[in-house]
Each structure stands twice: as structure tokens, then as C-alpha cells.
Structure 1
């Protein structure tokens, strides 16, 4: 083991011990306080018989701040929203955001298999923009994910379709927002340990409670040490997330939010396997799914990120309040990697490799201030919102590139020659972005009919310091929708929304500055929500049609973008989704998606008619979990699930990849066994239980990756 790894693992152990000490010391001064966690286990007596009841009161979502930046219930929101609550995350034992969307309609994850760095997610054919606590995350130039650990969050929320009216620049497929754990006046928390395949080890904990009558605090921490499916790869992570809520009188409340995360991956990155031997046959045999064609003793990825901010509100009068949230973030990733992307030789076993060091720094300031008001004007109720938000982002990155020594894919031998490590001599991005948006939204209520309407105007200024150009773009977006909520819980709805994304650069044909890309969606469907005693169900059926124009027909990871702005794409389909919790005993997550995507205009005739990447036409999933409540086995539960995904395109056809490769269709099965007693939970969960082998994606003939194989993890949780 290298010295740096020993030092990092010591830090992980120290953080875990610190979280444990903090949790235990908190218990000493609040032994009789009420639990603040929503997932609780209690023993009651019914007819003289002990009955164990596991209460998960938030398993079925009812609201989402992401959808409207207000407390409008999901049943009254005329757009599809999926909320994966902390209760779902805990009971189904998801360990990252990609797993969290496994049973969500219209959303796919794990497009690059079990990546240890990022969360690769696609929504209705588009890569969504990531938000944390309602503010844009400081994502890098080419990867729309910062990879903050799922344990830091209370919920994972996906708003499907255009979201620009409330969030500014965003793709037409949607966004996802992760809501941080908050402090509670009631004392509570947990300590959790996991161990699983490939030496997966983690210790985590969260504790919350009141310090004074006006101040509540929470601390969440995690230490993770794991290996990967690929041989010679290990990863470590440290997460610390403090928060507090301070009440300044009866009308003012401030919540401070922060996180720090350190990641280190040693040995390799994911992907870059040749198609011949994975997706396509190789006369010499299939490539081992655990094969590593990098340099285990050289390859390294390090990421440091942190953010601090606030979420504050002040009540001006009854039903009228000022709200503000802000976040200052720093993100820095650096990597050096030898990867096998050079193509397979004529002997079907010699793989060309490259050396690719990379470094990127992102600074971000995001502020959102708004006025919220609930008023009645005669028979009409109003849920009104007006706000202004501002983003200031600086992104600087550079890379190096060189040819490295080849490797034998069936008998890899490492470090056969001096490892080439070129300097970071090629600037990739040096961009400063400023965006200001002003928005207004109102939901009008006429009895059981609710009409939601909103509009926004954005001003965007992008200074490309590498290219020496300055781009100024502005755009008006709007949305309107209606729901009718019947007394029996059914709510048909229809909505129309628009989106935009700024585009940097100049059209290579017209020589004019690019315009913002523009998207629009028409969506209609029906929602069903029932909460009757111990039966809770939320279901959605939706049909949608998305069109995006002003698409630049080139790889969008090139900064500034080079190409001509003549492209257009569409995405249409239908979705079914259900989440249910019945008698605190039976949990159901089910979904089905049909997604038909197409490039409708492109400067490259070969691309017209192509399907959008990583978007299967069909995705279906079902998970059912049942807990015994009576008898000697009371508290014992079992769950099983199945997931199907049809094949999806790995790339769009272009000059570099004229042939589009489709990943494998796959059917995988999940299972969980758990045992709950008051204060304790023991669980063993398995995903891809039968270890189905499939290729998740081939972005080119030299860039394929296997889907996530079998994963079995045991969890012990102590709640207090």
C-alpha cells in the first residue's frame, strides 16, 4: 500500500470515529428526546401479542420544493416530478444517485457502469443539470455531476421537462435537485456501517438536536473505503456536512448549510474497453469484465469540493414572506490516467493506449431571492412567487495528451516502459459566466381547479478567455399548466413549458454568434394520490413531447463549441410510476417508460433519424418489499425487484464515430433481506443478483464499458 493511501485511510477512520463520538456524546444530554428521523421501529401490543411496526411516514412523497419553489403539493403540479425520499433510500439501501433512479420512470443511470467518481444520469433523452438545495451545482465543463455522496441528502428529486422558468439555463429533459439533511429541534440520529463485495467498507453517521431554544444543529459524516469491479482499483471518500437552523424571533429563520468532500480513486477510471471482445465478438474470446487496461500503480483521480451557504426566510405578514438561499462553492478535480482508447490491433489482442492528465477548477456563487405570498381574492386563491437569481461561475481547465505503450488485453503486463506523463499544456476551458434571471409564478385556485403560470427573463454573459470572445445572450421562457383534483384523489393535468441553454462560440457557417438553444414540452397525464390511514399511494401516468432547436451539430464537450447551429432533436413518449406504502408493511416501487427520440435536423445527413444517446426505448422496473409484524419472525422483511432496459445508442454519428453502437438490452434482479427492532436495523441487499453480464454503453469502437455486476452489501444501523 502506498504512503498516500495509508494517510487517507487514517483520515477516513478518524472521521468515522469522530462521528461516532459526537453521536454518543449527544445521546448523553438528550436521552428522552423524540426521534427526529422519519423511519422508526416500535413494538406495540395487539390482543396481548407483540407487533413490530416499521414506520416510514415519508416513503410516499407528497410535495417537492423543486417543482415550484413553494409548498404546492405534487398532486397540484402540472408536470412530472419524481421524488426519491430518504425513507426510500434507506429501505432500498441505495448507495449513490445512479442507484436511486433505478425505479424512477423516464430516468436512466449507470450509463458507464459502476463509476466511482460521478453520477451519470439521463432524463427523457437529455443530460440533466444538477442542483443542490435549489441552486446550480458547480459542475465541470464536460461532466454534469459533482458526485456529492447520497448520504448527505434528505431527498433526490427529478423535475422532468423544461425547468428554465424557475432555474434559468437548463436542458429540456429536466433537472435533478438534491435536498440536504436539515437540523431538527428533536434529538435523533444514527450510526451506520456497511461491508460488501470488493471490500466495500463505510462508516457513517448523522446526529441532530437543539442546542438552545432557538438553535438546532446537525452533523452528517461518512468515511468510505472500497475496491472496484476492475482489478487494481481502490477508492476512498470523506464527507462532512454540518448544518444549523437558527430562529431569530417568531418570524425569521436562518439555516446554514455546508459540506466538504474528498475523493481519491487509485488505479483506473471506468470505460475505454474495445468493442471487439465486449459488445462485438473477438475470435480470441471475451474480455474479462474485471480487466484493467490502465496502469494500476500510476492512474489517479483526486477531487476536493466544498460549499457553504444559507437558506433563510422572514415573514412580513401572515402568508407573505421573503426567502433567500445562497451558496458559495469550490470544486477541484485532477487526474492522471493511462487508458486503452487507442483501438485494437489486427491481432485482436494488442490495445493502443493514451496518457491523459487533466485538471479543472470551478468557483461558483449562486443566490436566489424571492417573495412568496398566499392570498385570496374573492373565490380565487393565489400561491404567488416572484424572484431574482444570480450565478457567477469561473471554470478553468487544462489537459495533456500523449501516446502510451500498448497492452495485451488477454495478458496485461503493466509498467513495461517508462510511463509517459505529459504536461498540462493544452488549455481546455477558461470561462467566466454571469447569469441573472427575474421570474414570476402564480397558481390560481378555483375550487378543485388549479392553474399554474410563470414567466422568466434571463441575461447571460459568457467570457471565453481562451478564445478571446465574449458572448451575451438573453431569453424569455414561460410555462402554463392546469390540474383538476377530484375528491377521490385523481388529478388529470396538462402543461406547456419552455427552456433554454446558452451556447458559447460562433457559427462556423454563418460566422454569427450562437443563439441559445431552445426547448419546449407539451405534457399531459393523470396523477393519483391517496392517504387513507395506513395506506399511502402516489402514482403518475404521463405523455410528453419535447422539441429542441438551435442545436449545434458537433460534440458539445468542445469549448468553445465549433459547428453550425442548424440541428434539432425531439423526444416523446409515455411514463407510468407508482410508489406505495401499505400498513407500514408493504412497499412498492414500480415504473415503465417508453421514450422515442430522434435527431430531426443536422448538418451531417447521417445523423438525421439517429436516436439520442443512453436513452432506451423501453425501461421497466418493479420492487416489492414486505415486513412480517407478528410472531417469532416479527421485524423480518424480504424484498425483490426486477429491472429491464432495452438497448440504447452510445453516441450520435459524426466524423469520428460514423457507426453508432448500441449497448445490450438487460434484465437484472435485486433482492434484500432485513431485520428491524427498536433502535436497530440489519440488512443485506443485492443488486444484479444473478450477475448478468452486459455492455452498458459503447461511445465508440474503443470506448465501451460493462454494466454494473453483482453487488452485495450488508448494513448495520443503530438509530437513537
Structure 2
């Protein structure tokens, strides 16, 4: 009697929550260490980087960790073609291939253009797409765009707690906890708290964030991801030191020629603050933002290979910053010995509300073994409401018995260069700008052709005094 052939034992181990060849969202693919072999940022389809006719730099999770990049400006410091600027102490601002921008920032492929400092506690990778990109991303994108790819609930078991301490009182703690609750449900939580000081006088920064994420897999090739983030950042707003140029040494130097002669940072201690400190420096100089963001992403792949993606994001930004700063270069032959400059200031509210929805249909097929096609059809609709409300500073001076006068005559005061941290009563009570804008966006990308247009509507734009006098009147 012939022996019965043995039957291989079936593995009882469940498959991965997310198939290895699939990436939730639009992030990089084929990531090994510092190398990512593909991305969806440039083309809205998961495309090998070698086939993308643009320059793109991908900072992977491993690279961000090895360089201890906790903020976006730290991550971008060594990216070719990108220069990180100060952002006036209250926002991320970069130059991409010579184009200045504080708005070409994206989160999982959707516009995140409010002006604030972004932390990377919940970020898996940072992608920098260089060159004009308005065809895909609409307004802006002249020099390129910066896309942050968030950490997703992908079913992996993660238990990560990181505590960081450093010079100038740096204290930071982050947590990353993830797990698959069942075969159809995965959870992940990222959290941050940081309170740090700096080498500049009075500087202090406090920020915290929490980002829970849930992924539901009702079918084998269907994923629904829901995410919420609350992020708060408050810091001392320091505009830096003034400059010394030709008008500082030559009295009566023509103002029209000053721009042709370079100025240089004024020789002063590295910690010296220029501004008003009454009643405290942090009362008059701060940048504060509160971000509340809800993100819903749905992905499905049909049996015949059609990929369907729908992504909706609602974001509320509450931004306010106040600052006093040197409004001119140092005048060495005016005022007390050592010279003087003017100190002025303003407070600015820039709240913004965004809601965007993107739908993409992707189909891939092979015409021959050597010729492969990827078809993309997509649409985006969105609405953005913004406000810009600015008040100038009003100072009380010894000449006015320290009485604060907001009639427009005391928006700046003289300060000695050798003792520029003033202690004068002041208020931000001189209104100069009130602007309210609504922007509607519609983008339709049919197969084989591209169209991009936007509708801007200004229901109420009001200007006070000289600011905004060039605005159209209704």
C-alpha cells in the first residue's frame, strides 16, 4: 500500500493588516533606511522616483530620527535647493529654488498653508517636490511644495516613548503607541509635550499635541482612516537685531542709495533683545497658534484593479502674534552716545478655516510586457476662509508723562542702541487692517488632460487708514 502523501500544514498566522505592497495615504513606498523608491506626492499615483520627471527629496523616518529633526525647519536644513529663513519668529518660511514661501506646505497631499511652526512628532516622512507644481497643487507651488506624511494606524505593534533634554533648558517628551485591535481595526496615538528656552534673552517656547488615529478594514482591500489632531504652540516672538549700514556712519546719506549698499548685523551681545518689556517681555512679544484638524481618508481597490481614493480634511487655525522690534537701522550719530534706532510693534490675528476634499481614480494596465500604463482621474473641491486683523503699537513716553496715546502719533519710539530693551507702557490699540477673504477651489483632472482653476470671493474687505488702501471698493 502506497504511503499517503503528507499535506503541508496551513499557517494559522494572520496576514499583515496592510499588505506589504500597499501604502496608506500618499506617502513614500519601498522605504529602506534613508532610501525611498517611490512616492505619490508628485503624480498622485505610487510611482517609482526614477520615473518622475521632477526633482524630489524624501526625508525618511530613519533619517529624521538619526538627525534628531523635531521641527520642520530642522528637517529642511540640509535639503538641496531649500533655504530655511527665520519666518519673523512666528512661522515656517522657506525659499525653494529662489521662490520665497510660507504657504506651500501640505499634509498628506492636502494644503496646510496657515503660518505656524510645525512639529514632526506625528510625521513619518517629509517630501520636498522642487520646481513648478501648480498643475497638480493649484495656486502657489512656484518653486515647489513640501508635503508631510503622517503616521498611520497600520496594525503594527508600537510602543515608543522618547524623552529629550538639551542645552538652554530643552525638555521634550513624545509618545507613539500603536496596535491592531482586531483583524479589521487598528489604533495609533501620537502625543507631544515640549517646554524649552533659548540662547536669546526672554525666549521660551511651549507646545503640545495629540493625534489619535483609527483605521478600519471592512473588506480585504478597503481601508477607512480617521484622524484628529490638536496642536498648540506658544513662544516668545523675537525679531532679532538691527543692522548697521552706510546711513549709520554718514549723516544725511540719501535714503534712495541705501538699498544699493549692504548692511551688516549690529555689533551687540548675542542675547540682547530689542523691543519693549513692559510689564513683561512675553506679554508684548508672543506667537500663539491652536490647530484642530480632522482627517478622513477612504481607499478601495476593486477586483479588476481600479483604485478609488477619497480624502477629506477640515482644519481650524487660530493664530495670533504680537511683536516689538527695531524698525530701522542703527543711527550712530543720533540720540545718546552709541546711537539709537526706532522701536515699533504690532499685533496680528490671522485665523483660518480650511475644508478640502480630494477624489482620485487610478487604473493600471499593461499593453505589452514592456509597455505599462497608469491612468489617473481626479477632482478636488475646497473652501478657505481667512481673516487678517492688525493693530499697531501705541507707546507712552516720558514726554507724555507715560500716557499711552493711540491717535497715530506714537506708533514708534526712539531707543538707545546700548540699552534697547525698553520699559514703557504700551498697547496694541491703533487699528490699521481688517481683511476677510473666502477662497473656493475646484480642480478637475480628467484622463489625458488637466485643468486647474480657482474662484476667489471677497465678501467683506475693509481697510482702515493707510493700510490696504489699494483694495478694490464695493
The answer to whether the aligner puts 1:274 opposite 2:243 as a matched pair is yes
Separation of aligned partners in 2, 1:419 and 1:291: 21
Offset of 1:193 from its aligned partner?
Answer: 1.1
Q: Aligned match of 1:125 in 98, 114, 121?
A: 98
Task: Describe the shift of the 1:398–1:156 C-alpha distance in structure 2 as closer, same or farther (beyond 3 A).
Answer: same
Contact 2:92 2:118 in 1 (8 A): no
The TM-score normalised by the length of structure 1 is 0.52
Aligned counterpart for 2:208 among listed residues 228, 235, 238: 238
Aligned partner of 1:464 in structure 2 is 458
Q: Output the CA distance in 2 between the equivalents of 1:363 and 1:436.
A: 17
Give 1:19's aligned residue. none
Three-state SS of the structure 1 residue aligned to 2:140 is: coil
Match of 2:37 in 1: 62
Q: What is the distance in 1 between the residues matched to 2:451 and 2:323?
A: 43
What RMSD over aligned residues (CA atoms) do the two structures have, in Å?
2.7
CA–CA distance in structure 1, aligned partners of residues 421 and 183 of structure 2: 64
Cα distance, 1:274 vs. partner? 2.9
Structure 1 position 61, deviation (Å): 1.6
Partner of residue 356, structure 1: 346
Q: Which residue of 2 aligns with 1:700?
A: none
> How does 1:565-604 map onto structure 2 within 5 Å?
none
Equivalent pair of 2:214/2:225 in contact (CA under 8 Å): yes
Partner of 1:431: 437
Rounded to whole Å, the distance in 2 between the matches of 1:560 and 1:243 is 46
Does the 8 Å CA contact 2:442/2:454 hold for their aligned counterparts?
Answer: yes
Cα pair 1:356 1:399 within 8 Å, conserved: yes
Partner of 1:112: 86
Confirm or deny: 8 A CA contact 2:86 2:92 kept in the other structure.
no
Say if 2:158 is the partner of 1:195: no
Seen in structure 2, the aligned counterparts of structure 1 residues 307 and 288 have a Cα distance that, compared at 3 Å, is same
| Structure 2, unpaired ranges of 5+ | 1-15, 19-30, 249-261, 394-410
**1:328 and 2:314 aligned:** yes
How big is the shift at 1:405?
3.4
SS at match of 1:291: coil
For residues 215 and 76 of structure 2, the distance between their equivalents in structure 1, rounded to whole angstroms, comes to: 30
How far off is 1:269 after superposition?
2.5
Using the alignment, how far apart are the partners of 2:162 and 2:89 within structure 1? 20
Distance across 2 between alignment mates of 1:559 and 1:189: 52
Candidates 258, 263, 276, aligned match of 2:228: 258
- SS of the equivalent of 2:42 reads helix
Contact 1:261 1:305 survives alignment (8 Å): yes
- CA offset at residue 408 of structure 1? 2.5
CA apart distance, 1:190: 1.2
SS in 2 for 1:165: helix
| Aligned residue number for residue 396 of structure 2 | none
Q: Distance in 1 between matches of 2:461 and 2:227?
A: 36
Q: Is the 8 A contact 1:366 1:391 kept in 2?
A: yes
If you compute each CA radius of gyration, which structure gives the higher value, 1 or 2? 2
Tell me the residue number matched to 1:43.
none
* SS of residue matched to 2:183: coil
In the superposition, the TM-score normalised over structure 2's length comes to 0.78
Q: Distance in 2 between matches of 1:455 and 1:428?
A: 40
The separation in 1 between residues aligned to 2:381 and 2:310, in whole angstroms, is 12
Structure 1 window deviating more from structure 2 (86-95 vs 455-464): it is 455-464
Please name the residue that 2:417 is paired with.
409
Partner of 2:385: 394
Q: Relative to structure 1, is the Cα distance of residues 561 and 367 closer, same or farther in structure 2, using a 3 angstrom cutoff?
A: farther
Deviation at 1:467, TM superposition (A): 4.2
User: Match of 2:426, SS?
Assistant: coil
Q: CA contact under 8 A between 1:264 and 1:301: conserved in structure 2?
A: yes
C-alpha separation in 2, matches of 1:58 and 1:86:
8
Aligned to 2:356: 366
SS of the aligned residue for 2:365 comes to strand
Q: 1:89 is matched with which residue?
A: 64
1 or 2 for the larger relative contact order (CA 8 Å, sep ≥6)?
Answer: 1
Query: Is 1:422 aligned to 2:429, yes or no?
Result: yes
1:340 to 322, 326, 331: 326
CA 1:272–1:186: 2 relative to 1, 3 Å: same
Structure 1 residue 315, shift from structure 2 partner: 1.7
Give the drift of 1:90. 0.1
How far does residue 226 in structure 1 lie from its aligned partner after superposition? 1.0
Larger deviation, residues 81-90 vs 94-103 = 94-103
Q: Which residue of 1 aligns with 2:112?
A: 137
Which residue of the partner structure matches residue 150 of structure 2? Answer: 180
* Aligned: 1:205 with 2:185: no
State the partner residue of 1:315: 301
The residue aligned with 2:73 is 98
In structure 1, the residue corresponding to 2:54 is in which secondary structure? coil
8 Å contact from structure 2 (residues 434, 461) kept in 1: no
Q: How far is 1:155 from its partner?
A: 0.6
More strand by share: 1
SS in 2 for 1:70: coil
- 2:228–2:294 CA contact under 8 A, matched in 1: yes
Paired position in structure 2 for 1:663: none
8 A contact 1:124–1:160 mirrored in 2: yes
The answer for unaligned runs of 5 or more in structure 1 is: 1-33, 37-55, 140-144, 442-453, 469-557, 564-720
